[in-house]
């Protein structure tokens, strides 16, 4: 036993170290595969020895059971805000005030990038993370410990020679530009509205009641201050930061210490240039008095400390003229107005289009064609119109009217009174068709290489494809006849189409482009039904009986699958040799969750184990066994001579598995 405890300890120490090297130092020592192997080994041992559970274990970063609500906690030292400065003069004034209050000629400052995320406080007792909270109103925040544990760059255990008995440390949680882009791509695939900017995405992730959802968001942290520390004396803020670094915390590498106010202003100019090339967004620079005794002496107002100021960057806004409003038609027929702008450079990027979302938005902002408008770009986000510059209106501006007919096919459009969206009513509209075909061939769906936007455009406009099933009728001669298409490229596409024919049920469902059915929902349905036949005969109620599927989605599914045209299209696809692999079952979301949340019903006689052995096996992997089949049942395990439970399961479309599959599922 003690040997196992030792092994678990060794693995935890090694994984903490590799995690630190990867996420804090950005300097990994081992490959990802080796890291995964160590992690799997630890997960297996911890599973077999639940008595060794530790909240500090590197396995605990996948999130914990959801909370009902957040607890609140009072900050022992208030988390204040910062005063803002917008020009050099504001900064000189700040410096004058500081020197006057202290009665000194010159002060040593430290300048730090001001991250645009969310302030959090982390509390460590004897080197162990025990609590994390949001800033809240500055006096009281919300306890978000489980969520913060999922952030890989937050140390769960501190390292170093001198571990303080108590440490309250503050920093900014954020999402990098790359992380943000990936997150939004995924959300769009799942038909979820994209986040407006990385800050909103980070805020949403930090305030999830289900920390397993937080674990999937690419959150990062930089620490920038100590709130309270016991057992260690520090002289300056720069020394505090170095000390934090030695404990394993991630400190921003662009911090510049021991500088005069003039050098801080110079550094502001440098950072203003650099900011667009940084991997994360910053909205200014924080200038702080370095000496901690001076900080104490200066104190704070009720809102902000007198020893620091945020020198904010100029917003990335510009004015330009709105030349026209075009209307685009998407896959589901939604008409989206797009602003066509006189090209203008905003923060180094030329902007000539901006999203207008829908006609309500245009009314709300009273935007008219010909207006001078203030536009804004936040990081990688699509530019948007902030407001109209009323003062320069001439009266010649024209109001935008949503067309009565689809700008692409001419069919009537309609607007659901509950939705802000206007849609084209023609399901055969070429614009919709193009988008549907593009979606069908896209990465998360049939993933046909070479079938990009331009290609689809040609196929649809030349009439070669009038439903996505037609993709499978394309042959080399037909493709060769297209513009700029050589024999080799045509052959490559034919091969890619052939290769795409082996597809999982989940991807297939996603490819169909059913409204509200993104990758996640498609996977849930595939897991439950296992075959396309089961899905084709299901009714809205059968879909709704599955956890995670609401009535709107269920109705959309029924509508789609009961439509004769869609059924024919599916038949065509199947007839062209598409092979639907049974969807690989997904057990739980994160690592090491085993069968957590899965409910099993046993029926019939199993070959190699008794019922109670099967029950023990399932429970050991985190699953539950119940007596009767209901809509909550995840799987029915059927042995020889099964009873009526099997019939009921079949009727309800619950997946039925055998003993071998059960064993495979329970394997660590």
- Chain residues that interact with ligand IVH, rule: CB under 6 A: 80-82, 112, 114-115, 119, 135, 172, 224-225, 286, 305, 308, 310
Cβ neighbours of residue 30 closer than 8 Å, sequence gap 6 or more = 18
Shortest Cβ distance from residue 196 to ligand IVH (Å)? 19
Shortest Cβ distance from residue 2 to ligand IVH (Å)? 45
Considering the complex, state which of residue 80 and residue 638 has its C-beta at the smaller distance from ligand IVH.
Answer: 80
Catalytic residue, candidates 69, 96, 114, 398: 114
Shortest Cβ distance from residue 45 to ligand IVH (Å)? 39
Question: What values do phi and psi take at 292, rounded to 5?
Answer: -70, -30
Considering the complex, state which of residue 149 and residue 288 has its C-beta at the smaller distance from ligand IVH.
Answer: 288
Considering the complex, state which of residue 286 and residue 614 has its C-beta at the smaller distance from ligand IVH.
Answer: 286
Question: What values do phi and psi take at 586, rounded to 5?
Answer: -110, 125
Q: How many CB atoms lie within 10 A of CB 461?
A: 12
Shortest Cβ distance from residue 80 to ligand IVH (Å)? 4
Considering the complex, state which of residue 286 and residue 540 has its C-beta at the smaller distance from ligand IVH.
Answer: 286
Considering the complex, state which of residue 81 and residue 591 has its C-beta at the smaller distance from ligand IVH.
Answer: 81
Considering the complex, state which of residue 222 and residue 508 has its C-beta at the smaller distance from ligand IVH.
Answer: 222
Cβ neighbours of residue 22 closer than 8 Å, sequence gap 6 or more = 28, 35, 152
Shortest Cβ distance from residue 270 to ligand IVH (Å)? 16
DSSP 3-36: HHHHHHHHHHHHHHHHHHHHHTSS--SS-HHHHH
Task: Check: CB of residue 338 under 8 Å from CB of residue 327.
Answer: yes
Task: Check: CB of residue 326 under 8 Å from CB of residue 356.
Answer: no
Shortest Cβ distance from residue 269 to ligand IVH (Å)? 18
Q: Tokens standing for 606?
A: 């199993």
Considering the complex, state which of residue 117 and residue 333 has its C-beta at the smaller distance from ligand IVH.
Answer: 117
Task: Check: CB of residue 329 under 8 Å from CB of residue 335.
Answer: yes
What single-letter DSSP state applies at residue 542? H
Beta pairing partners, 309:
287
What single-letter DSSP state applies at residue 236? B
Write the CA distances from 311 to 84, 278, 305, integer angstroms: 6, 18, 14
Cβ neighbours of residue 52 closer than 8 Å, sequence gap 6 or more = 4, 5, 8, 45, 46
Q: Which residue has the tokens 């899965």?
A: 598
Shortest Cβ distance from residue 69 to ligand IVH (Å)? 23
Shortest Cβ distance from residue 103 to ligand IVH (Å)? 23
Task: Check: CB of residue 61 under 8 Å from CB of residue 593.
Answer: no
What spatial distance separates the first Cα and last Cα of the chain, rounded to whole Å?
20
Cβ neighbours of residue 137 closer than 8 Å, sequence gap 6 or more = none
Task: Check: CB of residue 240 under 8 Å from CB of residue 234.
Answer: yes
Q: Tokens standing for 619?
A: 């429970």
Shortest Cβ distance from residue 156 to ligand IVH (Å)? 22
Closest residue to ligand IVH in the complex (CB): 119
Considering the complex, state which of residue 251 and residue 433 has its C-beta at the smaller distance from ligand IVH.
Answer: 251
CA 524/CA 512 separation, integer angstroms: 15
422 closest CA partner among 436, 406, 438: 406
Considering the complex, state which of residue 250 and residue 528 has its C-beta at the smaller distance from ligand IVH.
Answer: 250
Beta pairing partners, 120:
134, 171
CA 453/CA 508 separation, integer angstroms: 20
Shortest Cβ distance from residue 290 to ligand IVH (Å)? 13
CA 303/CA 288 separation, integer angstroms: 16
CA 475/CA 456 separation, integer angstroms: 15
Q: How many CB atoms lie within 10 A of CB 160?
A: 13
CA 4/CA 49 separation, integer angstroms: 9
Task: Check: CB of residue 128 under 8 Å from CB of residue 135.
Answer: no
Q: Tokens standing for 507?
A: 């991807």
Query: Active-site residue 114, yes or no?
Result: yes
Q: Tokens standing for 591?
A: 């690592």
280 closest CA partner among 150, 149, 172, 144: 172
Considering the complex, state which of residue 82 and residue 455 has its C-beta at the smaller distance from ligand IVH.
Answer: 82
Q: Name the 3-class secondary structure at 342.
A: strand
CA 648/CA 667 separation, integer angstroms: 28
Shortest Cβ distance from residue 308 to ligand IVH (Å)? 5
Shortest Cβ distance from residue 113 to ligand IVH (Å)? 7
Considering the complex, state which of residue 148 and residue 335 has its C-beta at the smaller distance from ligand IVH.
Answer: 148
Considering the complex, state which of residue 98 and residue 339 has its C-beta at the smaller distance from ligand IVH.
Answer: 98
Q: How many CB atoms lie within 10 A of CB 37?
A: 12
Ranges of H-type helices in 157-260:
177-189, 198-206, 211-215, 237-247
Catalytic residues: 114
């Amino acid at each position: 036993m003690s040997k196992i405890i030792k092994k678990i300890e060794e693995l935890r120490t090694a994984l903490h170290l590799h995690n630190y090297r990867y996420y804090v130092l950005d300097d990994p020592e081992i490959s990802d595969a080796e890291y995964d192997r160590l992690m799997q080994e630890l997960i297996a041992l911890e599973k077999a020895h639940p008595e060794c559970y530790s909240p500090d274990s590197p396995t605990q970063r996948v999130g914990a059971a959801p909370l009902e609500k957040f607890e609140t906690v009072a900050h022992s030292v208030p988390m204040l805000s910062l005063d803002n400065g917008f020009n050099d003069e504001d900064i000189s004034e700040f410096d004058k005030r500081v020197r006057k209050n202290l009665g000194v000629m010159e002060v040593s400052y430290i300048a730090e990038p001001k991250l645009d995320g969310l302030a959090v406080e982390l509390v460590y007792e004897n080197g162990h993370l025990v609590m994390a909270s949001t800033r809240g109103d500055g006096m009281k925040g919300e306890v978000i410990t489980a969520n913060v544990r999922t952030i890989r760059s937050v140390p769960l255990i501190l390292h170093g020679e001198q571990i303080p008995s108590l440490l309250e440390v503050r920093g900014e949680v954020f999402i990098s530009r790359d992380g943000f882009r990936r997150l939004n791509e995924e959300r769009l695939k799942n038909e979820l509205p994209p986040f407006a900017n990385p800050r909103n995405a980070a805020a949403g992730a930090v305030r999830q009641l289900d920390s397993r959802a937080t674990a999937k968001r690419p959150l990062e942290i930089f620490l920038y201050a100590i709130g309270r520390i016991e057992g260690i004396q520090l002289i300056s803020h720069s020394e505090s930061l170095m000390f934090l670094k030695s404990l394993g915390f991630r400190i921003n590498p662009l911090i510049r210490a021991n500088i005069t106010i003039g050098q801080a202003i110079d550094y502001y100019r440098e950072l203003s240039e650099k900011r667009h090339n940084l991997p994360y967004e910053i909205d200014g620079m924080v200038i702080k008095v370095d000496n901690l005794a001076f900080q104490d002496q200066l104190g704070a107002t009720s809102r902000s400390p007198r020893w620091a100021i945020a020198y904010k960057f100029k917003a990335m806004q510009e004015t330009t003229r709105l030349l026209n409003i075009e209307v685009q038609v998407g896959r589901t027929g939604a008409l989206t107005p797009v602003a066509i702008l006189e090209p203008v450079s905003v923060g180094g990027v030329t902007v000539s289009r901006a999203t207008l979302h829908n006609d309500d938005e245009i009314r709300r902002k009273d935007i008219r064609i010909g207006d001078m408008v203030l536009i804004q770009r936040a990081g990688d986000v699509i530019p948007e119109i902030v407001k109209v510059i009323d003062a320069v209106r001439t009266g010649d501006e024209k109001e935008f009217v949503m067309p009565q007919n689809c700008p692409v096919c001419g069919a009537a459009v309609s607007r659901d009174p509950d939705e802000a969206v206007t849609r084209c009513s023609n399901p055969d509209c070429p614009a919709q068709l193009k988008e549907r075909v593009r979606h069908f061939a896209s990465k998360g769906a049939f993933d046909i290489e070479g079938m990009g936007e331009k290609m689809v455009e040609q196929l649809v406009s030349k009439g070669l494809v009038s439903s996505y099933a037609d993709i499978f009728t394309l042959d080399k001669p037909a493709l060769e006849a297209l513009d700029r298409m050589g024999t080799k490229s045509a052959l490559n596409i034919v091969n890619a189409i052939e290769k795409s024919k082996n597809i999982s049920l989940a991807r297939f469902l996603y490819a169909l482009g059913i409204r509200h059915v993104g990758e996640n929902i498609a996977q849930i349905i595939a897991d439950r039904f296992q075959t396309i036949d089961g899905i084709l005969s299901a009714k809205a109620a059968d879909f709704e009986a599955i956890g995670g599927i609401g009535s709107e989605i269920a109705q959309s599914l029924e509508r789609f699958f009961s439509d004769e045209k869609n059924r024919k299209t599916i038949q065509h696809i199947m007839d062209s040799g598409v092979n639907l692999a049974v969807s690989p079952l997904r057990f739980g979301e994160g690592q090491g969750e085993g069968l957590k949340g899965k409910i099993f019903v046993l029926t019939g006689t199993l070959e190699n184990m008794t019922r109670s052995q099967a029950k023990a096996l399932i429970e050991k992997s985190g699953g539950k066994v119940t007596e009767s089949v209901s809509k909550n049942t995840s799987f029915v395990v059927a042995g020889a001579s099964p009873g009526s439970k099997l019939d009921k399961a079949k009727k309800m479309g619950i997946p039925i598995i055998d003993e071998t599959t059960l064993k495979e599922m329970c394997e660590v």
